[in-house]
A and B are shown apart, each in its own frame.
Chain A
């Protein structure tokens, strides 16, 4: 099997041989609104190993962004409660003090967002903003902070950084701004970088540059990456492990290649099948009927069952995240009997599949 070698080495990292850097258990986020308290996410369980690159995928409203924000406790004011635990290198981020959180935020865990312009302050130079992060967290002298900022700008691929360091955000292009954000996020050498749709606002040729940069920086500095995205292609190219979320729950978790080739949850399979990349040209795109249930009216049992082609009596029971072996987990009690199509079945129509053996 020619495909076996690379896949195995990916799975090894994902199997979590090393003790996890971060361990999320039973994370639930509740919000108050004028109509009552709603549960945005519940029972979120996952681990991230040191240096591991994990993709969190799902459609809008599935809870992926809010999960990322909850790790840094950057939740909106109408938060009603945070349940469960987020154990990060020995500290529980759910219960630790605001002071302890400030020590971690920006220094040991950093975050970048989709729109760099809204994260950068327009009235300060980019050099000032990066150096400030460093000085707040380490208290080093101004000159040294500037020197390290310059070095960081060079590392993220900004051409002639000695000129760019004194530029204001509006003088930079979208791709350069995102590089600046990455530089600001990584300047303190964090153990974990949370990137929420970091390339969604960028053009595809620039997206390729930024993803390559994130992958390379994560590898050279052993920074773990939690990449939140709706784009399965981005996850496939950047991450080693993929966590799929649906309606506020983790429904699948495993090595990227395994999840793409043989998804265990009908929703993951449905998403893969609906991508135009993999369908024959001009043919009908398979789609998932119905829509994501509303937060105010969540069905009990499996939350996907109303849209699922494999729903059966038993799906109305509460679903747990089951261990499927080989570092994989799935929230579907029928996973053993289902044989769901993944990316390969569709790619078989593309010429590319002919060149590699099909596993």
Chain B
């Protein structure tokens, strides 16, 4: 239960007032890709982040494993700020926090055999003898359900689903505590997607992994995550238990997102209550004042332009940033 204190205290990653800014290529403007985000990831859970392109979700994922340095704010791994660690300690520390990307083709060297790709992180970590390392690599390949002979093959000889399994195996070799999964099933065919999602669930159960699952796909995120955060233009607009967020969304954007998802259901079972949003996500170089969603929000009022809505816990464990969240009773989606 969300209120049980111990489940709320076992935090593996805590993010406070995180900001990530980029300069545009002509250095004339600043893109506020992530602009003041707060959340905790609890040990052993799957934390989903959904958002459209340009919302900043990938930037958060990269910042979580320190592939990007935050411009402001703090990210703590089990209470420590990894940036204050000496270089050697930082390097060994980050082995516990892995990331997997969408495109396995870009993640695997086409000229290396699968086994050498999977071995590489172990060799860099210099643990054990070479026989032990090879055994660990083969174990990892086995664990993700690949046949033994895959190790001697090259990436082009594997299907997309198999390649993504190789990438997962490689991330597992260093026995991480947390894996950021950035659109990891988006490039896979639908019949294979289910297999890979099942694999993630199995590995979590067997190895006690924590996932941060970043995706634009609502169906995927609501299937796999315990909690989900909805991101819009660099900020979280809503965060809560997946069931609550998908059945009783507090933010108008969440509701629009849920209703826009095409559902493979016959017409008799589909409801006509779609909220059609006008236009597209504005530029993060010059975001709207106040609430960033107000330019597309069907319920926007004057206050929304004047004042940035507070990030508040409206229901236990269910956060929202909307001035009018408690006044609007959305029908369940």
- Name A residues whose Cβ lies closer than 8 Å to a Cβ of B: 2-3, 6-7, 10, 59-60, 159, 173-176, 203-209, 211-212, 230-238, 256-257, 260-261, 270-272, 274-279, 281-282, 284-288, 291, 343-344, 347, 351-353, 356, 359
Residues of B within 8 A of A257 (CB): 266-268
> Are B192 and A287 neighbours in the complex by a CB distance under 8 Å?
yes
Additional 17 contacts, C-beta under 8 A, given A205-B257, A208-B259, A209-B276: A7-B268, A59-B189, A204-B261, A205-B52, A207-B262, A208-B274, A237-B263, A257-B267, A274-B194, A276-B224, A279-B223, A281-B243, A282-B201, A287-B191, A343-B269, A347-B269, A351-B247
> Are A271 and B260 neighbours in the complex by a CB distance under 8 Å?
no
Query: With contacts A205-B256, A284-B198, A351-B332 known, is A277 near B269, CB below 8 A?
Result: no
B161 at interface, CB cutoff 8 A = yes
Question: What are 5 of the A-B contact pairs (CB < 8 Å)?
Answer: A203-B280, A206-B280, A230-B189, A235-B264, A272-B264
> Are A271 and B256 neighbours in the complex by a CB distance under 8 Å?
no
In the complex, chain B residues 115-133 whose Cβ is within 8 Å of any chain A Cβ = none
The contact size tier of chain B is: 35 or more
In the complex, chain B residues 247-281 whose Cβ is within 8 Å of any chain A Cβ = 247, 256-257, 259-271, 274, 276-277, 279-281
B242 at interface, CB cutoff 8 A = yes
Minimum CB–CB distance from A277 to chain B (whole Å) comes to: 4
Best-buried of B224, B243, B261, B269 by chain A (most CB within 10 Å): B269
Minimum CB–CB distance from B204 to chain A (whole Å) comes to: 10
State A344–B263 Cα separation when bound (angstroms).
12
State A232–B262 Cα separation when bound (angstroms).
8
Residues of A within 8 A of B223 (CB): 276, 279, 281-282, 285
What is the chain B residue whose CB lies nearest that of A61?
B189
> DSSP class of A's interface residues: helix, strand, loop or mixed?
helix
State A207–B53 Cα separation when bound (angstroms).
12
Query: With contacts A203-B53, A230-B190 known, is A276 near B262, CB below 8 A?
Result: no
Minimum CB–CB distance from A169 to chain B (whole Å) comes to: 15
State A351–B331 Cα separation when bound (angstroms).
13
In the complex, chain B residues 189-242 whose Cβ is within 8 Å of any chain A Cβ = 189-195, 197-198, 201, 216, 218-220, 222-224, 242
CB-based closest 9 A-B pairs: A233-B262, A285-B194, A3-B268, A276-B223, A257-B266, A203-B52, A232-B264, A208-B260, A287-B194
State A204–B218 Cα separation when bound (angstroms).
9
Residues of B within 8 A of A272 (CB): 264
B148 at interface, CB cutoff 8 A = no
> Are B265 and A260 neighbours in the complex by a CB distance under 8 Å?
yes
> Are A60 and B268 neighbours in the complex by a CB distance under 8 Å?
no
